[in-house]
Amino acid sequence: MQTGSYNADNRTGGINAPPAPESLKAAGLHSGFINEMILKLIYLRGGMIGRDLAQVLCLPFKVIKDPLKFLKDEKAIEVSGGDLVGEVSYRFALTDMGRKRAQEAMELCAYAGPAPVPIEDYIEQTYRQSVTGITCSPEQLYAPFAHLVLREELFNAIGPAIVSGRSIFIYGPPGNGKTAIARGIGEFMNQSGHSIFVPHAFIADGNIITVYDPSLHVIDDSVEEGKNDGTDSVVKQLLTTGNLDARWVRIRRPVIITGGELNLSMLDLQYNRDSKFYQAPIHFKANGGVFLIDDFGRQIVSPKDLLNRWILPLEDRHDFLTVANGKKFQVPFEQLIIFSTNLDPKDLVDDAFLRRIRHKVEIQAPTREVYERIFHNFTRKLGMNPCPEAIDYLYERYYDRGRSPRASDCRDLLEIVQSICRYRRYPLHLTRELVMEAATTFIAEFR
């Protein structure tokens, strides 16, 4: 297990970053495991240069140098070419014996990619970059929400929730910025909490669990340190010491949003029976960031069952992953979880469950003053002229007659006006008549 000191360098975004291992022991891996990884990679790719093996495994070449020698001495691999750079440039190919061993290894587990980190290292790193460690003040919080028009009391509710790192229940009528607020919280975390590190995968009692997900995680490339810009840079990284551990990916703090599609199976390890390794559950990938359950109460699973699943994580900040043989592993639950709904909270869960959701924030329909500010903000954003008469019409025709104003109406109506102007080849402008036409297609159907 890699338990040595961590680099504390602000160039990596303020979070202590895992250093490159100096040996297999420092990497937390045993020789038999890495031998199988090497055989599988060569089997799948049909021969590989030492440098490329190290790069795919995300390990310094010196860490895999002895395993390569061992496999060569065992006559599982052979050198089929190379140049004057040395062993790092040798081309390795499988022998008949090596091919057989690779096939046997593939049957046990077909994972062949970046070497995993030990689960202990993952746990330690996750606690180093927890959401509860982020400082928050009103001044810091304003910037990520500058594009939104929010009431002052809303900031007074959001700020303490972020500081506590506990769950937040956001409720209120639809279209008034609940999702935008969750994204703003994530943006704040990235501005004030710096980027974090997640592993490509970790290993627990021989089970490989992949974590980094390019469809959900955004690489933070704002720091140039350690980037590979070419072959010379790659070789230098593989041969020198003091670099960051390439098995970890530096990402922006994740903001993962799920809605009505969420079910209980998505909160468990996803096992690939063909490849025989696991993918971490969706909420697990949100560690260090925000996990938003949008439209809470409209999932296939009932709110009660969902909260029952999370009673322990919400209270104790850890969860359990269960592998195919029934063994459980304790892992951190270090994320700010947000439940967002436009349903009445009392219709969803009882008081006992609401107690476990520490912070409740109500998002109300905008007052006319707030609505006008949002409307004018969007006209400026879209390059339109101010038109108070358009707002007057919306209130006379709809909002004063029972329809609750929504902040999202401003964006939706003005984008329809924009589309009308483009279709008719009008100069982009805003009039009462154009808003009337847009509202006929957008709002009237909901009367």
Q: What is the pLDDT of residue 14?
A: 62
Alpha carbon distance 147, 81 (integer Å): 59
Helices and strands: H and E segment counts in the chain:
18, 17
Question: Is the alpha carbon torsion for 322, 323, 325, 330 positive or negative?
Answer: negative
Alpha carbon distance 329, 434 (integer Å): 60
Q: Are the beta carbons of 287 and 317 closer than 8 angstroms? A: no
Q: What is the pLDDT of residue 83?
A: 63
Alpha carbon distance 51, 239 (integer Å): 9
Closest by Cα among 1, 109, 94 to 43 = 94
- Per residue in 133-191, pLDDT tens? 778 888 888 888 877 787 777 777 888 888 887 788 888 888 888 778 878 888 888 77
Q: List 278's β-bridge partners, or say none.
A: 209, 271
Length of the chain: 447
The amino acid that residue 173 corresponds to is P
- Per residue in 316-325, pLDDT tens? 889 999 998 8
Q: What is the pLDDT of residue 444?
A: 57
Where the chain has pLDDT below 50, the residues are: 1-13, 224-234, 237-238, 240-241, 445-447
Q: What is the pLDDT of residue 364?
A: 85
Q: What is the pLDDT of residue 136?
A: 81
Alpha carbon distance 324, 319 (integer Å): 17
Q: Are the beta carbons of 179 and 353 closer than 8 angstroms? A: no
Q: What is the pLDDT of residue 5?
A: 34
The pTM of the full predicted model, rounded to 2 decimals, is 0.82
The helix (H) or strand (E) run that includes residue 359 is: strand 359-362
Q: What is the pLDDT of residue 84?
A: 55
Alpha carbon distance 279, 292 (integer Å): 20
Q: What is the pLDDT of residue 223?
A: 59
Closest by Cα among 222, 225, 250, 22 to 125 = 250
